[in-house]
């Protein structure tokens, strides 16, 4: 079950249950909840929240797999059409499998999410179909990146939104080991640390950091990610490089930037294209 919350500007007159016309070989059923939005006169103007059920699996394992794939499709719609969505769940994964019938003849999965910008049912169905067509629909790192990106716009401050947008790239930026063997230099550095006879807590801290010296930094991995996914866009590399440096200053120094809103829009544009490249799908809204 996927719980979807629409914003006040959306008027979705869904008075009862409906099924999404997807290309999937299982049932995607939509049910409005009891809460309704009221117009200025106090009359109900349409349901503000939905529950989406995905049903028709023989095993719990299959249900969980398909649940994550549908979540991938829902999130892809937010990225592709540039609107916001937030998954809300208290479990390790955004889906929980349960037996739909007491006799055990059917399996459903449960998802909890909040969709701030409402979209037509047909648009959501299309997003699910596109997501399911992606060969990367089972990529958990890509799923996490999309989840972080799609929810960043719901943050209450510009700084937290900016940090969320920049951070959404990290699941996709896999840190690689250096091709040059630096182990001898690291061992020499460890010896120099010990020779200094530093206080134990300082020595322990420095020794711990040496374990990361054989791999590239996160910022370096992110820059490589941009180069690999957007090889002909030098401006994108500049935007992300400056954004990651600004993110570090915000987190470590508590600073801000007068043009933070514009920088967020620039980062958002680049990250959407990176995600689309990783998913091997085309954005429907540029």
Report how far apart, in Å, the C-alpha atoms of 97 and of each of 67, 223, 241 are. Answer: 8, 38, 41
Split at pLDDT 50, 70, 90, the class of 17 is confident
pLDDT of 68 higher than 90:
no
* Tens-digit pLDDT profile for residues 74-133: 889 889 988 877 776 767 777 667 665 544 444 454 444 444 444 566 677 788 889 889
Tokens of 228: 């690999």
Distance from C-alpha of 216 to C-alpha of 210, rounded to nearest angstrom: 12
Residue 44: the pLDDT is 41
Tokens of 206: 């420095």
pLDDT of 211 higher than 50:
yes
The single residue listed with the structure tokens 């106090």 is 42
Compute the mean pLDDT over every residue in the chain, rounded to the nearest whole number: 80
Task: Give residue 182's region: left, alpha or beta (phi > 0; psi -120 to 50).
Answer: alpha
SS3 of 187, please? helix
Taking alpha carbons only, the member of 136, 137, 95 closest to residue 112 is: 95
Which residues are within 8 A (CB) of 67 and not within 5 positions of it... i.e. 6 or more apart? 54, 94, 95, 97, 109, 110, 111
pLDDT of 11 higher than 70:
no
Tokens of 80: 């592709």
* Tens-digit pLDDT profile for residues 140-194: 999 999 999 988 887 889 999 999 999 999 999 999 999 999 999 999 999 999 9
Cβ atoms within 10 A of the Cβ of 271, count? 26
- Segments of the chain assigned E as strands: 2-5, 18-19, 27-32, 36-38, 44-47, 49-55, 85-87, 96-99, 107-115
Residue 173: the pLDDT is 95
Cβ atoms within 10 A of the Cβ of 90, count? 6
Going by the DSSP 8-state scheme, the letter that residue 177 receives in this structure is B
* Tens-digit pLDDT profile for residues 238-277: 999 999 999 999 999 998 888 999 999 999 999 999 999 9
Residue 277: the pLDDT is 96
* Tens-digit pLDDT profile for residues 212-246: 899 999 999 999 999 999 999 999 999 999 999 99
Going by the DSSP 8-state scheme, the letter that residue 211 receives in this structure is T
Residue 86: the pLDDT is 76
Comparing 51 with 84, which gets the higher pLDDT?
84
Tokens of 84: 């916001």
Distance from C-alpha of 267 to C-alpha of 238, rounded to nearest angstrom: 10
Which whole number is the average pLDDT over 188-209? Answer: 95
pLDDT of 46 higher than 70:
no
Residue 172: the pLDDT is 97
Whether the Cβ atoms of residue 95 and residue 139 lie closer than 8 Å to each other = no
Distance from C-alpha of 144 to C-alpha of 184, rounded to nearest angstrom: 37
């Amino acid at each position: 079950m996927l719980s979807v919350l629409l914003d006040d500007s959306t008027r979705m007159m869904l008075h009862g249950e409906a099924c999404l016309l997807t290309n999937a070989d299982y049932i995607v059923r939509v049910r409005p909840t009891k809460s309704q939005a009221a117009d200025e006169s106090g009359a109900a103007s349409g349901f503000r929240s939905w529950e989406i059920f995905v049903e028709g699996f023989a095993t719990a394992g299959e249900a969980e797999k398909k649940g994550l794939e549908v979540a991938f499709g829902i999130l892809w719609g937010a990225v592709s059409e540039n609107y916001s969505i937030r998954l809300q769940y208290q479990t390790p994964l955004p889906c929980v499998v349960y037996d739909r019938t007491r006799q055990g003849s059917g399996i459903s999965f449960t998802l909890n999410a909040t969709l701030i910008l409402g979209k037509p049912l047909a648009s959501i169905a299309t997003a699910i179909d596109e997501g399911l067509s992606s060969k990367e629909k089972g990529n958990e790192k890509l799923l996490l990146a999309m989840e972080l990106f799609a929810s960043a716009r719901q943050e209450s401050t510009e700084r937290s939104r900016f940090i969320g947008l920049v951070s959404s790239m990290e699941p996709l930026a896999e840190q690689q080991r250096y091709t040059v063997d630096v182990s001898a230099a690291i061992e020499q550095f460890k010896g120099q640390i010990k020779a200094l006879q530093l206080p134990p807590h300082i020595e322990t801290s420095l020794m711990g950091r040496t374990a990361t010296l054989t791999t590239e930094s996160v910022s370096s991995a992110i820059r490589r990610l941009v180069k690999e996914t957007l090889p002909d866009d030098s401006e994108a590399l500049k935007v992300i490089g400056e954004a990651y440096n600004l993110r570090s200053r915000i987190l470590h120094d508590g600073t801000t930037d007068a043009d933070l809103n514009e920088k967020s829009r620039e980062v958002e544009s680049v990250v959407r294209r990176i995600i689309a490249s990783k998913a091997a799908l085309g954005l429907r809204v540029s």
